[in-house]
A and B are shown apart, each in its own frame.
Chain A
Amino acid sequence: METPRPMLEADGLTKRYEDGNLALDHVSFDVYPGQVYAMLGGNGAGKTTAINLFLNFIEPTDGEARVDGIATHKEPLKAKEKLAYVSENVMLYPNFTALQNLDFFARLGGNTKYSKDDYRQVLLRVGLEEEAHNRRLKGYSKGMRQKCGIAISILKNAPAILLDEPTSGLDPKAAVEFIRLLESLREEGKAILMSTHDIFRAKEVADVVGIMNEGNLVMQRSREELVGEDLEKLYVEYMTGYMDEVA
């Protein structure tokens, strides 16, 4: 059987900022279609830097981030066609309604065939009630905006999805709904790279968990490898162990 090609590839990905700070140090991992990869780590571990490199918001100092085999810093526009993105704190256009925001970002992503009904269906799918669809976003809560952001990423229908702390700020019910949504997206064959602090959610949904610390990928385990393991304990061990090693 032919081995599937990874949709997202970090290949020796390194980023050193102009002030000398090494944010990412030769990090390599793959995310395959139909797989959820959870990057765990504290603040400044390099999770968001990795996502920024996939989005070509910054250029790598060394190595490559590839989307479906396309190096993002070489062909950023082509790579972005295959990417959807949800940020930690989704902030859309406050004077637009949810439908208007969805319409704009869907068309920006190259999808011009959607109707209002399609937008409504997706908003309902992410759990946004119908009465809110025509309201301006300036009256939305953080959770509602987050749902809009997820709806936008679904509408893009991209094979790869990047999620930067997607459950941050969501109430427990919304977080559960979000996990169900991720599972359905995985079933659709999407490759999902998610950065998170939430060990519990990561364990629940991730096919692969990577722990990052100070720009290094210090542990990577598949769901199978994690069976029977206490991820929280592992997380603390790897973090402190790495710190001891560095010391």
Chain B
Amino acid sequence: MFRLLVEKELREIIGTTKFAVTFGVCSVLILLAFYVGARNFQVSQAEYEAARAENIKQMEGLTDWGRIDHRIFLPPQPLTTLVSGISNDIGRTTEMQTQGELRSENSRFNEDPIFAVFRFLDLEFIFSIVMSLFAILFAYDAINGEKERGTLRLSFANPVPRATYILSKLVGAFLALGVPLLIPILIGCVMLPLMGIPMTGSAWGRLAMVVLAGYLYLGVFLTLSVFVSALTEKSSNSFLLLLVIWIFAVLIIPRTAVLISGRAVDVPSIDKVNYDKNRYMAQLWLEDREKMQNYSRENPPSQDGDMQAWMDDFRAFMSELSDVRNEKMSDFGGRLNEERRNRELVQQRLALGIARLSPTSVFSLASTDLSGTSLDLKERYIEAANRYQETYAQFIREKTGSAGGFMFTMRGGQDEEEPPPIDPYELPVFEYEEPSSTTLINDSLFDLGLLVLFNIVFFAGAFVAFLRYDVR
């Protein structure tokens, strides 16, 4: 019985022009997403390699490690091409310093603002916008449409258990939409290695999880549609109601969540934090200037004394001042940053909590977690850059004898031998490593669980509503 009903459902959906058009559109969009994603990756990879080469090239010929202008870059990750998340919004380039706060700049959207306006066509977009609409399109009249057509009466004139019927409706609709979509997805997967995308086993596994999350999300809208269809008498009513729910889920709730949290939790702006830091820095400079003047007054260079020894003492004094100042600045800046970060976390938690009322947000969070392009990407990049900063500072210290900050050098006369050029390839290499698959999958588990919960709740709703449904 169940199989017969599922077969009927499949045949009824697949045999329609609506399905042919939908399948065609979806296939084109999915293949396009894979192709555009792969091309973007190729371009990003080329830009990344060029930027690294340029970074080395501009150091060639320099003779002083203290004068280098070193930059590190966030390498493109294969899965960011399919689920871009915030990868295009965050800065990919960081100017490396031996100390102080690091800032990343040159985001993709900063360089190509047109993409910020229209965003990218990626797998997440296709699932969250297009597939959810198609799910509604195919299931909005699952129950009331049968009633309007008169087939529900005829079906239930036979010994058909209602539970079997409603379950077959869902399974049939899910298979009819889900299985054909696997075809373009699999073709897209074949395209990736052919286009030179270095997909690791971990990336494949996570891509499979993203597709699974997409199917769970599709299931949410299918069960919701069947639920609404079992609650309403007319298919036109259920379609309108589902459209309103879709607009809220996809467009309104995520944006409102950010607005509400922004109003509820005040986070000082970066500019305000920088202003406070600069003021404090200026204050420290003033204090140090006085100390420097006192030092010069109390320890003037003697006319006949050893100038080099005085320079060494002065450098040591300045270095000590610089170290103390940097430490104070670091403490102060760290405190401001931490306060800001804590408030930001409260704001984020509130925003995500509200946004998770929408299955669309939940799917976005799960898929970006799995792809490594969630909100954590920025944090992870900054953390990796900070770790590199320590290695870099150590390297510079070894090369120059100073960890930067105050660099005081004295050149001899024209006859002094020019120091040999530095070898930029000696620089420690910055390597950004994505967190392990286990970490990323663990991060996504909560949202995947929520998607399952949405499915269960809407299915239970559809089940109960249909048990009480008047089939006449």
A residues near B (Cβ < 8 Å) are 52, 55, 57-58, 76-78, 80-81, 83-85, 87, 89-96, 100, 104-105, 107-110, 149, 152, 156, 162
Contact = CB atoms under 8 A, between A and B. Distances in A.
Given A81-B159, A110-B159, A104 B4 contact: yes
Interface residues of B, number: 23
Contacts of A162: 157
A57 B471 contact: yes
| Closest 9 pairs between A and B when the two form their complex, measured CB to CB | A91-B150, A85-B157, A77-B159, A80-B159, A108-B158, A91-B149, A95-B15, A109-B158, A57-B472
Contacts of A58: 470, 472
Nearest to B16: A95
Contact of A83 (B1, B11, B16, B157): B157
A84 B15 CA distance: 28
Contact of B4 (A81, A91, A96, A107): A107
Chain B CB within 10 A, most for which of A55, A83, A152? A55
9 contacts: A52-B472, A57-B471, A77-B159, A77-B161, A80-B160, A90-B150, A93-B12, A96-B15, A152-B154
B156 interface: yes
B8 interface: yes
Contact of B155 (A77, A78, A83, A108): A108
B153 interface: yes
A42 B199 CA distance: 73
Contact of B150 (A52, A81, A87): A87
A83 B155 CA distance: 12
B438 interface: no
B58 interface: no
A109 B223 CA distance: 27
A92 B16 contact: no
A244 B413 CA distance: 133
B151 interface: yes
A149 B15 contact: no
A95 B151 contact: no
Given A109-B158, A149-B154, A152-B154, A95 B472 contact: no
A58 B153 CA distance: 12
A57 B153 contact: yes
A91 B151 contact: yes
Given A57-B153, A90-B150, A105 B15 contact: no
Contacts of B150: 87, 89-92
A76 B15 CA distance: 33
Contacts of A92: 150-151, 154
A181 B472 CA distance: 26
Contacts of A94: 149
Contacts of A107: 4
B156 A105 contact: no
Given A87-B150, A90-B154, A108-B4, A100 B160 contact: no
Contacts of B4: 104, 107-108
Nearest to B160: A108
A96 B11 contact: yes
A96 B5 CA distance: 14
Interface string B127-166: 0000000000000000000000111011111111100000
B158 A80 contact: yes
B37 to A, nearest CB: 36
